[in-house]
Structure 1
Amino acid sequence: MNHVCGTSKIAGCSFSIHPMSEDFAEIILDSLNMVDTSKVWLDTDDVTTTIRGRLEHIFDVTKAILLQVSKSGVHAALQATYSIGCPGDSNGDTCPDESLDRMNEDSSRFIHQHLSAKFSLYPMGGGSYMDTIYTQIEAMKSKGVQVTPAHYSTRLDGDTHTVFKGLEDVFRATEASGSSHTVMTVTVSVNSPSTKEVES
């Protein structure tokens, strides 16, 4: 099928997900089959999966894949790099669907999963980038997420839906603040045995 790109600004995410299980390939493939990726361009190689499209669809798909993997109960890690406004980007390899409907929200909303994460924000092409970063870290605290300082990143603990909503809001606000190229890296852990030991 030939797609015609719309007028929306293209966002993208390159991610890898790692279930700590001998059945990792089956868990990943089963999870991908449960996620609707029709509103993003998707390509997988032996290192990462890359998706491109509207920002809401990028976050919808990455959150849905993490939630589906988490249903297996195994310890899993997600590493993701979100980007928008890259000067070297082009309209190729994408089909930013103009509709705002998130295709996985109905199937994802009933999956409740606590996660631990660390994220780093990189507003580029702007002025006082550290002020922007500090502002967005403070904003995350108001979203129902536990926020803890860490070296080279900020730690987040909370429900997957709450954390991902916070990450998306922070990403959007950073771009709106004047960052011409915004990058955010996120490392997520779910079903960690060490977390369960702390909680018990």
Structure 2
Amino acid sequence: MVHQTCTESDIAGASFSIHPMSDQFIEIIKGALEEADTSKVHMDTDDVTTTVRGKLTHVFDVTKAIFAHAAKSGKHVAFEATYSLGCPGDSKGEAYLAEDEIPLNAEHVKHIKQRVAAKFSLYPLGGGNYMDVIYSQIEAMKQYVDVSHAHYATRLDGEAIAIFDGLEKVFKATVEGGSSHTVMTVSMSANSPSHRGTNQNE
């Protein structure tokens, strides 16, 4: 059995995959990566997923920007991500932490209008009344987007930027509420043929 020693660290991470349903998927993915400023995070891509690590603000900023730039292509884009902060899970690599909390991509993507459908699940691990935490944060999401029930998750409908901003605030509130290890899974879809006609692209 491997025992991991936890250290005090505010390293956050996200492992994500983005899937443009298009013959131009390589160009769309590469274009989104080039448009997003990733200089405040550590990013590594393998044959399965891309991992982003750094301060929570920058992790959300980068993943939001990459998705927004890919989705504005107008093609159907699917996004799957797992966000994590706490230990066990990430106990070294503090050198990847930027000194400030200023997101580099926020100004560049805030005007991108993109309706999406999403589902998220929140896991405040190591806490006590975890269901109370989950229910309160689901309620908090309602000030950003439309929220509805889904099996094993909570459904969100609205603008992509608003959804990402809401997810970041919910995640941060859970951490600040005392969760020693917080995990969030997110599935998001833009420009899907099943809800075509509700999307707005710029």
TM-score under structure 1 length normalisation:
0.92
Separation (CA, whole Å) in 2 of partners of 1:38 and 1:163:
23
Which sections of structure 2, spanning at least 5 residues, go unmatched? 1-7
Shift of residue 89, structure 1, vs aligned partner: 1.9
Question: 1:149 is matched with which residue?
Answer: 149
Question: 1:101 is matched with which residue?
Answer: 102
TM-score under structure 2 length normalisation:
0.91
In the alignment, does 2:188 pair up with 1:188?
Answer: yes
Question: 2:88 is matched with which residue?
Answer: 87
Q: 1:72 to 1:198 in 2, by over 3 A?
A: closer
Question: 1:35 is matched with which residue?
Answer: 36
Question: 2:164 is matched with which residue?
Answer: 164
Question: 2:137 is matched with which residue?
Answer: 136
Number of aligned residue pairs: 192
Tell me the amino acid that sits aligned with residue 96 of structure 2.
C
Separation (CA, whole Å) in 1 of partners of 2:161 and 2:29:
20
Q: 1:198 to 1:106 in 2, by over 3 A?
A: closer
In the alignment, does 2:174 pair up with 1:177?
Answer: no
Q: 1:88 to 1:109 in 2, by over 3 A?
A: closer
Shift of residue 30, structure 1, vs aligned partner: 1.1
Q: Deviations over 1:69-118 (max 9, x none)?
A: 01110000000000000324222285110211111112112211111100
C-alpha RMSD of the superposition: 1.5
Runs of 4+ in 1 over 2 A off after TM superposition: none
**Structure 2 SS opposite 1:21:** coil
Separation (CA, whole Å) in 2 of partners of 1:34 and 1:162:
20
- The farther-off stretch of 90-99 and 66-75 is 90-99
Which sections of structure 1, spanning at least 5 residues, go unmatched? 1-6
Question: 1:119 is matched with which residue?
Answer: 120
Question: Does the CA-based 8 Å contact 2:115-2:198 persist in structure 1?
Answer: no
Percent of residue pairs bearing the same amino acid type: 59
Q: Deviations over 1:133-153 (max 9, x none)?
A: 011111111x23100001000
**Structure 2 SS opposite 1:100:** coil
